[in-house]
Structure 1
């Protein structure tokens, strides 16, 4: 039996990750890179969220490439029309996601 170091509950019952997701304000914006290629930047994550895992899920669901670095996620292309729905399915609050 393993215990969560943050809340003291068993790992199977731990809700730390979902609580961390519910309390964050996420910002989604578009950045233009070389050759006028668009990049969707998703930022505002706390340290409790595993960016590598979330990045893999976003890339899979949005069918694009990207990376997680420096506390934010970069996705190739403009995904502002779908990113909010995907983040809500991953446990983030719809009202806390700002798309610019």
Structure 2
């Protein structure tokens, strides 16, 4: 055990009444609220930022969409629609959509047509 633990890091880890305790919300694991809250609040500010990137991709150009406040399922479905409209591959992971190739203008118009607040970012 660490000697210099701050006040927020110390607390009940196990109780004979309820079993293991969640370290974040200090509730029994059966009644933990952390996972439900994490799923309910998707990351992103609601403004889709469409950029074109080449860094770290072996010289290949990729169109990247960040900032959408969608859950994983909705993000995957939107990614599929964008990829099929552009006729390219790509992925949706960690709240970021990637479409292979330089399709920034087309992706931007498709996002605006679907009612998302989107803007072009970067060069």
TM-score, length of structure 2 as denominator length: 0.55
Q: CA deviation at 1:99?
A: 3.4
Aligned to 2:88: 64
5 Å-filtered alignment, 1:11-90, equals 24-32=46-54, 33-34=57-58, 36-48=59-71, 50-90=74-114
CA distance in 2 between counterparts of 1:47 and 1:61 reads 20
Q: Tell me what 2:26 maps to.
A: none
Partner of 1:98: 120
- Which 4+ runs in 1 deviate beyond 4 A? none
Aligned length: 75
CA distance in 2, matches of 1:71, 1:82: 20
CA distance in 1, matches of 2:120, 2:107: 10
Unaligned 5+ residue runs, structure 2?
1-44
Q: Distance in 1 between matches of 2:86 and 2:121?
A: 16
Report deviation, 1:48. 4.7
CA distance in structure 1 between the aligned counterparts of 2:121 and 2:86, rounded to whole angstroms:
16
| TM-score (normalizing by structure 1) | 0.66
Change (3 A) 1:99 1:83: farther
Cα RMSD between the aligned structures? Answer: 1.8
| Greater relative CO, 1 or 2 (CA 8 Å, sep 6+) | 1
Q: How much has 1:25 moved relative to structure 2? A: 1.0
**Structure 1: which 5+ runs fail to align?**
1-22
